Structure 1
């Protein structure tokens, strides 16, 4: 057994000791990897943001438009579909994680990273309705394995698996702005026994915590600026009986709607398995057409339907009155169509579009259901939408972070909405004999 092995003599991989020399060395390596991997993730997000600005702002302006015209998403997302399909066909790893499978957290072979970067970058920049969280997990995992590939630790399957998880945690904390979110995600996604869970979560916490110094700053250095996850301008509010009473039916409705979107996404994923180019480009054109239809119907920007929704969510939460009821309905329907088209074909994560759709339903409900006010409605909608991805604790944590100072008083309806949504999703999937969103197990020996 190599000197850096995390396995105790005479014991299997599941019996790793927290006090063993090998595991302490592994924790040290995880901490050292935290900053460079967080920096790479930050660079990826900056590059995506800048290229999004070019595609959705600079190019339309250069062509004489004040903003992207209604038809702009059709060629933009369609062209992204071509790049994604080429990455799936010709690069190792098939472009990375399929969003409809949930939030993947398996070890990514280093050779797959270029395909992940190309496919996810094209999806995000082109305007596909997916988020950046799953690609960050894959990039962090693959680069962590690459860093130790030629070391003794890289030859140990258990050590490689744990460092892959730590690398993913360091990378994903760059988008959520909080290292605890990364640890919570891995706690749920991996589905490990208690002892195994401790072994994985500690490197994740250490790597993401050290990497967070890039954003929190140290001493006189203020750190790199990243967008705060909390939605701005949300004042604390007290729950009333109507808020609690409406939590169950509203969460039920959001869960059913999101589940239907996932059913459509799984069907497009199956189609894409045998017709990669046609299905991916077709999905991009359909998503673009949905954004175009929204812009033509409402005379608003098609960007509100295209992209993940992360940038539009603060505006929706702080000023839903900027949309008429008809515009909100159009936004919800068109975004759901685009999300369903992209879920099984493009590459990215499912989190932010699900949160956005839930928030849109909440905004509509606040204006239609008697006694229900905006903030609890948003909390219920976002929690139920996110919960259908199959991560209940992560759903609660993310919604609480989004709500900021208003979260404390809204925790009861957030938790109630998550529980209701998960029960509904489980019931519908069992009845229809459909698998729940996939939870990819941590792969051993993925360091090749």
Structure 2
């Protein structure tokens, strides 16, 4: 009877998603005074962080231009001679060794570890900035993204009162992440890429993701406004990852989708191989760090000089982060023969791998160049066009180096601009294939502590 009475009573209404306890809790958090204050803090912090980041990138860009353009011209060279990287990288090693061995923070984390890691404490920021301003302009095969993220996170944490961080530990993580996105707002060519990247890397899901995405998106937008405005007002370049000109593209053929699998897998193999070299280099520099870092810097210079010597082209193409070379390659891919592209991948890959485990900078930009070079080199295969080869290389390299296929796909799609509508499916397939292959091949990171 009791059972009958229970079954005859009307069942309680099923709550709609907006009425679910988790959603109600999320709504309460989003509208709470504390969270609204956090959004205001993201804006307040985003402006000064972006200004400092803009100054850092502008200074690095000007130093790079002087080392690789102005100085050779003053000595009577139209372009840097093949031997130019030998003294510049030796100087980089000599200058950066004491920063890595004696300063607090040791110049930040190793690039072979990726972009992640805990936020850099403010007291370590001087070594991070100094190491990057030494290594990047002098030709180390790394990008500016990791130092920028460390700089943004460290400055953001510095701006938050210690007492408040202790009282709400989660605030430190959100503010630090927002600072990172503000600092790299346009270095990837679009503020949305940086925001998606840090969120995908955070590995959060459900309501927690929304709590993090709003301040990050806000800080990224503020950072982009600052970067764009000051870039326009000052005329200073920031070296953002963009492709001003691209080969013509159409709807990919079925054969191009078939080629995307082996080409993307090849890109993943090359990227993981360079990372393995980076881990070996990191183990090599654990002891007698100062001397061995100098030796690694010299080895990077030898690789870059070898590219210039064997190809007769400017060694600058294999040096630095690769942003400028990527733009040139996309604008005129046929200016490089297949042999020159193979040598670019070989020597740039060796220089990048050594740099990953010994010097300081970001790992993403050189990987994108290497992937693009592989894709264009493979575009001579039957049924694979130049534009599709480039698209495959861009997406596959981003997924392999970051381990973030969504971010890699978005970055590649935004880079190809007008070709995006036709190339997006091909790039998504390439990113997934490369991600899976790289995950399968990548070895467990050795213990460096």
| Counterpart for residue 101 of structure 1 | 113
Query: Which residue among 289, 292, 297 is the counterpart of 2:302?
Result: 289
1:221–1:425 CA distance, 2 compared to 1 (3 A): closer
Quick one: which of 326, 335, 343 aligns to 2:339? 326
The count of corresponding residues between Structure 1 and Structure 2 is 420
Report Cα offsets for 1:217-245 as digits up to 9, x if no partner. Answer: 59x98997655644122244211111111
- Assess, with a 3 A threshold, how the Cα gap between structure 1 residues 177 and 364 changes in structure 2: closer, same or farther: closer
Corresponding residue SS for 1:54: helix
* Corresponding residue of 2:128: 116
> Could you say which structure has the greater relative contact order, defined with CA pairs below 8 angstroms and 6 or more residues apart?
1
Q: Shift of the alpha carbon at 1:63?
A: 2.9
Question: How big is the shift at 1:155?
Answer: 5.7
* CA positional deviation for 1:325: 2.2
Whole-angstrom distance in 2 between the partners of 1:223 and 1:118: 24
Deviates more, 1:281-290 or 1:15-24: 15-24
Correspondent of 1:79 among 91, 95, 99: 91
Point out where structure 2 has 5 or more consecutive residues left out of the alignment.
1-25
**Residue 443 of structure 1 aligns with which residue?**
none
Q: Which residue of 2 aligns with 1:19?
A: 31
Distance 1:264 1:396, change over 3 A: same
Return the offset for 1:293.
1.0
1:281-303 Cα deviation digits (max 9, x unpaired): 11211111111111111111110
Aligned mate of 1:434, from 427, 444, 448: 444
Following superposition, the deviation at residue 190 of structure 1 comes to 1.4
**1:13-412 equivalence runs, <5 A:** 17-104=29-116, 106-149=118-161, 152=164, 156-217=168-229, 226=238, 229-234=241-246, 235-367=248-380, 369-389=381-401, 390-412=403-425
Task: Describe the SS at the equivalent of 1:93.
Answer: coil
Cα deviation for residue 68 of structure 1 reads 1.7
User: Any idea what SS the aligned residue of 1:418 has?
Assistant: helix
CA contact (8 A) 1:295 1:302 kept: yes
Secondary structure of the structure 1 residue equivalent to 2:137: helix
Change in Cα spacing, 1:271 to 1:163, as seen in structure 2 (3 Å) is same
Residue by residue over 1:119-160, the C-alpha shift from the partner in whole angstroms, topping out at 9 and shown as x without a partner, is: 111111111000100101000011111122366457642222
Displacement of 1:435 after TM fit?
3.8
Equivalent residue for 1:445? none
Larger Rg: 2
Q: Check whether the contact 2:64–2:138 (CA below 8 A) recurs between aligned residues.
A: yes
The two structures, once aligned, show a CA RMSD in angstroms of 2.5
After superposition, give the CA deviation of every residue in 1:34-67 in whole Å (9 maximum; x if it has no partner): 1221111111111001111121122223333332
Shift of 1:270: 1.6
Deviation at 1:84, TM superposition (A): 2.3
Structure 2 partner of 1:442: none
Q: Secondary structure at the match of 1:69?
A: coil
Partner residue of 2:17? none
Q: CA–CA distance in 2 between the matches of 1:275 and 1:96?
A: 18
Structure 2 distance, partners of 1:76, 1:216, is: 31
Any conservation in 1 of the 2:58–2:236 contact (CA below 8 Å)?
A: no
Give the TM-score of the pair, scaled to structure 1.
0.88
1:53-99 Cα distance to aligned partner (Å, 9 max, x none): 12112222333333222111112112212222211111111111211
Residue 318 of structure 1, CA deviation: 1.6
Unmatched tracts of structure 1, length 5 or more: 1-13, 439-448
Instruction: Write the distance in 1 (CA, Å) between the matches of 2:214 and 2:116.
Output: 19
Q: TM-score w.r.t. structure 2 length?
A: 0.88
Q: Deviations over 1:258-284 (max 9, x none)?
A: 111111111111222223223321121
